[in-house]
Chains A and B, each alone.
Chain A
Amino acid sequence: MRVIKRKTGSLEEEQVILEYAVWREEFERIQDYILKKRKLITVYKESHEIMQMKLEDIFYFEAVGELVFAYAKEQVYEVKMRLYQIENSLRDDKFIRVSKSAVINVLKITSLRPALNGRFCVRMENGEDVILSRQYAKNVKNCIMKEL
């Protein structure tokens, strides 16, 4: 299989063309990967300014009271969604519930270590620790062991 790279004039023109003789699973995976890359989510800055953010740049979502926040590498944004909606809509993008108040991006996990009470401490790529509750541990383990 050859790889042809061509420079475009702008970001809007960027595209990936898959040329195939027989559509195989590997093409399916490449297509999924590309489609996920372009997924965006609407977030709100502190100044209530609306912006679109790449889903892959979000490390985790956390509910604090009635509000839900999205944590990127260094910034925090507000999201106008409930945590269960995020959990349900982003399940295929490797976002998974880890506690009553958090949904994390599995692809941004650096490591896990055991904590008290059957819980785990999840170290994210931005250095932050998120608690994985005992009742969600099995789901997270399945996701890591079977879906990565």
Chain B
Amino acid sequence: MKRRMDVFWKAVFFEFLFIQAAGSLTMGIVGSIFAEDNSISYMHYFIPFIIAFLCLLPGIVQYSKKELTIRQILFRKFLQLIILEIVVLGCQNLLGIPFGFSAYAAIAISVVFIYAALHIVEWLYSKSEADQMNRKLEAYRAGVESGAKNRVK
């Protein structure tokens, strides 16, 4: 149980850092394009942390006591993305900077990009883990087969 909680918190912490970093980058890019003349205070540096924390909360829609099917996971992912869009666009009011429609559209698109990027990074990490295990399984099988051949000889 403890080990399973470790895995959970590790994943949450990774997602928090990733969203926080990507959020800062997005704020910088969108701000420099759409609100170039506005200045921000030191307090605004906390916004990526707040956004990252708030973005973790919709992850609760992925929770289930039973194993979810692929279709159920995809539906919940879509739902999570919608909630994320609402949360992030709502958070823009924290900046206190009036944005136009195009800025909101850019933010909405960047949420999709960050969401996709996070999944790609997670998939690549899982892929490297799977490859590691596959190599080990292959080596084990090769060992068993060569042992069997030796026994036949």
Q: Indicate, yes or no, whether A interacts with B.
A: yes
Interface of A toward B, CB cutoff 8 Å: 3, 99-101, 109-118, 120, 131, 133-141, 144-145, 148
Q: Within the complex, what minimum Cβ distance (angstroms) separates A105 from chain B?
A: 12
Q: Is the CB of B136 within 8 A of A137?
A: no
Give the CA-CA distance A18 to B68 in the complex, in Å.
49
Q: Is the CB of A117 within 8 A of B62?
A: yes
Given A118-B126, A131-B67, do A144 and B8 touch, yes or no (CB 8 Å)? Answer: no
Q: 10 extra interchain contacts, Cβ-Cβ under 8 A, other than A116-B74, A120-B126?
A: A100-B65, A111-B134, A111-B137, A120-B130, A134-B11, A135-B8, A137-B129, A141-B129, A144-B137, A145-B136
Q: Is the CB of A112 within 8 A of B130?
A: yes
Q: Is the CB of B7 within 8 A of A148?
A: no
Q: Does B3 contact A (CB under 8 A)?
A: yes
Q: Which residue of A lies closest to B134 (CB)?
A: A111
Give the CA-CA distance A115 to B136 in the complex, in Å.
20
Q: Does B132 contact A (CB under 8 A)?
A: yes
B96-153 at interface with A (beta carbon < 8 Å): 122-123, 126-127, 129-130, 132-134, 136-137, 140, 151
